[in-house]
Structure 1
């Protein structure tokens, strides 16, 4: 017997299957993040799945979801949050965390946390600590996520 999902459960599961985060789904469907979480949980329960990826797999196997390749057209996913981009831009010159924190008027711990998140999102965490910031700045500039370096006057 084929399990049945509500239209909303099917829509949420389809978006999850296509790589959208719960926050992106909430924005797209004009729901709260909690509503998306609850809908996802109910879909998992109806399918007898242990995890959301397992639910997607079971839904595809049951013919409820069609197998898709990649994300459907839509707004591009932001690689960095606005705050991560701001902190990375402020830290691009290699200044110590305390100096960057002073520039942005935020605690040093927040600077460290936002930089760590940016490193993870930009895929530079495999590098030695001393090379991560420069690699992240280079990657972010190449992708247009932070402004290019200012040319120095000669």
Structure 2
């Protein structure tokens, strides 16, 4: 039978819940290196080739319960200044090329910053066509981008 230490089990459970090594380190008051070492030891004990594979093997072995869903909540990390700027510029529903022209950059850069923002705001579980509006809503409620321009004019 495979034996994991309490720390390895704790780290593996948090990985199963979708937390990054940085988030786990903050939560457990460890260094990212210590988290990585615990994850590597768990992976080696289970004979896994990756962290997701380790989670799968641990679930199959009955060491972990099936992967629970991460509850929606506050942003795990705030938006960077550039992500907030791009999301604000895109908040009126303009196309990527229009937003890129407004900000003097490429559509690829705009797409990348929006995708990063969606992840940080926790809206990636939504269908693609709903993510931008949901991200704008969450960011406005949290004061990360200014309120709607029409509301500001009133």
TM-score interval w.r.t. the shorter chain? 0.5 to 0.7
The answer (yes or no) to whether the contact 2:59–2:66 under 8 Å persists in 1 is: yes
Q: 1:97 aligns with which of 95, 100, 103?
A: 100
The reply to whether residue 138 of structure 1 matches residue 137 of structure 2 is no
1:152–1:9 distance in 2 versus 1, CA, 3 Å: closer
Looking at structure 2, the residues matched to 65 and 152 of structure 1 have their Cα atoms a distance apart, in angstroms, of: 50
Moved more, 59-68 or 113-122: 113-122
Aligned length in residues: 138
Q: What is the TM-score with the length of structure 1 in the denominator?
A: 0.65
User: CA 1:148/1:80 → structure 2, altered by over 3 Å: closer, same or farther?
Assistant: farther
Structure 1 segments unaligned to the other structure (5+ residues): 102-107, 128-134
Unpaired segments of 5 or more residues in structure 2? none
In 2 relative to 1, CA 90–34 (structure 1 residues): closer, same or farther, beyond 3 Å? farther
TM-score, scaled relative to structure 2? 0.65
Does the 8 Å contact 2:88/2:136 carry over to 1?
no
Aligned equivalents of 1:42 and 1:55: distance in 2? 10
2:75 to 78, 83, 87: 78
Alpha carbons of structure 1 residues 85 and 125: separation in structure 2 relative to 1, 3 Å: farther
Q: Any runs of at least 4 consecutive aligned residues in structure 1 with deviations exceeding 6 A, and if so which? A: none
Match of residue 55 from structure 2: 56
SS of equivalent to 2:18: coil
